[in-house]
Amino acid sequence: MSNLKDELLRLLRENESFRMEVLRMLGIMDVNVALSQLTDSVNKLTKSIEDLREEVRKLWEENHRIWEEISKLREENRKIWEEIQKMREDIRELREENQKMWEEMGKLREENQKIWEEIRRLREENQKIWEEIRKLREEVNKLWEENHKIWEEIRKIWEEIHGLRKSHEDLIRIVKGVLKDLGGLSRTVGKLVEQDIRHYLPAWIRETYGITVDRVRRLKVNNIAEFDGYVETEDKILLMEIKTTLRTRDIKDMTEKIEKYRAQAPSGKTIIPMIIYTIEGEGPEKLINTAKLHGIMLIKHYGEYEFELINQ
């Protein structure tokens, strides 16, 4: 029995055909085939599952991308709707603008019609102007003829002027001599007027200020200022200029002399500057305003004891 077992084991190990026959008889061969087929099926299923898992993963990724794309599309769609809304608003504005343009075109057509009517009137006016120009040319021709005659007259006048120039030069020499004589006469009149005013001025001072003086004497201050009249009391000093004809420059000169005098005037006394005159050499208003500006009294002498304070 032991030998048989050993022999069988040997045959199973060494004899391939015997071993396969035994397996076939025992049904093990079919089991191996089935197992092999089952293993192949399991392997195929496993691979299919792996493939399915990969496919599912890809599907999830694709699904995620799709949702992202959907989100982008929604955002894009929102922007498109906003753009559409803007476009609708622009279209509405364009329609309104278009309506205004049509209205403006209507106005322009009316204006254009008026312009054409104005052009027609201008053409008619232009025609009239050309007719006037023709008439003016005729008048100009007449004027040229008249001008020629005038030049002839001018030539004759120049000849007369040439003769008059000699007479004019003679007259100038005569006038210069007369003016020289008048200058001396003017100075003489000025002195006479000053003497007349000086004679009656003390009475006016006595009446106006209550100061009794026999005469109005001159004042010369250290070669820096000279006044035609000077009266001094305990509390005031009257400084006077006497002019035949008063001008604004006389007022300004008086102001400058007063300023120079103030630097050496006695302290504590009121200085009252005044100009006594007989004739205004400029407009009275200008003289009065200038005197007020510089604080100078203007007294006009009408004759004898008649004096008048002008700028009260």
The listed range with the strongest mean pLDDT (81-85, 140-144, 185-189) is 81-85
Spatial distance between the Cα atoms of 221 and 230, rounded to a whole number of angstroms: 11
Q: Enumerate residues 6+ apart whose C-beta is below 8 A from 176.
A: none
**Dihedral Cα 167, 170, 176, 179, nearest 10 deg:** -60
Strand pairing report for 297-303 and 217-221: unpaired
| Cβ proximity of 221 and 262 under 8 Å | no
pTM: 0.42
Gap between the terminal Cα atoms of the chain: 180
Q: Tell me the pLDDT tens digit for each residue of 16-55.
A: 888 888 777 877 766 667 777 888 888 888 888 888 888 8
pLDDT digits (tens, 9 = 90+) for 248-295: 999 999 999 999 998 888 888 999 999 999 999 999 999 999 999 999
DSSP annotation of 216 reads: -
Within 10 A of 266 (CB to CB), how many other CB atoms are there?
8
Least confident range from 116-120, 147-151, 267-271: namely 147-151
